[in-house]
Amino acid sequence: MNASICKKLLSQWISNGTFPEKLPEVAALRGVLQSAEYHGEGDAYVHTMLAVDAVEDDADRRVFWAVLFHDIGKAATTRFIDGCWRSRGHGEEGARMVPGIMTRLGLNGISDDVEWLVRHHDFILSWNLGPGDDLTPRQRRFMEHPLFPLLLRVNAADAAASWGRSRKGEIGRMLEEIAAEKV
């Protein structure tokens, strides 16, 4: 099963009205505000649906589910702090929620991978990379993780759905180039 089939399933749930029952964690993102500076596309639900649309149809299904769930932790963690909407710890909170959702959907076999992808989907923001910067040994080891290529796909969809000053896409492309050099 690839992302195309998963997208069709999601579309069915939306069109037949069962989406909020099947995925209340995603439906809860409606109205969850985000910083307009980085997320001009709107609330966390709109961002999530745009990110899902950005997943390539032939992508691994783990990428699809990780993109769909990447911000589910924002419903519980979003706060207005110092004049800006912040969602500190939303990746960890979302990852904590993934196993229960995957069990409910009968997708236990990929739960651990989706959980890892959700937990680390914002890794790129902490790396502070610029053009020509060298990676640290720790960053290089992280890139050796077997799920790292899928994480770059999750990052690409997230970046495509971030209408603002986000550097996720730019840094993701740099890392894709570095990873390709290793081959």
What is the C-alpha to C-alpha distance for residues 1 and 29, in angstroms, rounded to an integer? 26
Question: How sure is the predictor about 171, in pLDDT bands with cuts at 50, 70 and 90?
Answer: low
Average pLDDT over residues 171-179: 73
Average pLDDT over residues 108-123: 95
Question: How sure is the predictor about 165, in pLDDT bands with cuts at 50, 70 and 90?
Answer: low
Average pLDDT over residues 136-151: 93
Residue 56: Cβ-neighbour burial (10 angstroms; 0-12, 13-18, 19+): middle
Please provide the average confidence, as pLDDT, over all residues in the chain: 88
Question: How sure is the predictor about 107, in pLDDT bands with cuts at 50, 70 and 90?
Answer: very high
With beta carbons less than 8 A apart as the criterion, state whether 31 and 46 touch.
Answer: no
Average pLDDT over residues 68-72: 96
* Structural domains present in the chain: 3-182 (1.10.3210)
CB atoms closer than 10 angstroms to residue 144: 9
Confidence check: pLDDT of 178 > 90: no
What is the C-alpha to C-alpha distance for residues 133 and 16, in angstroms, rounded to an integer? 49
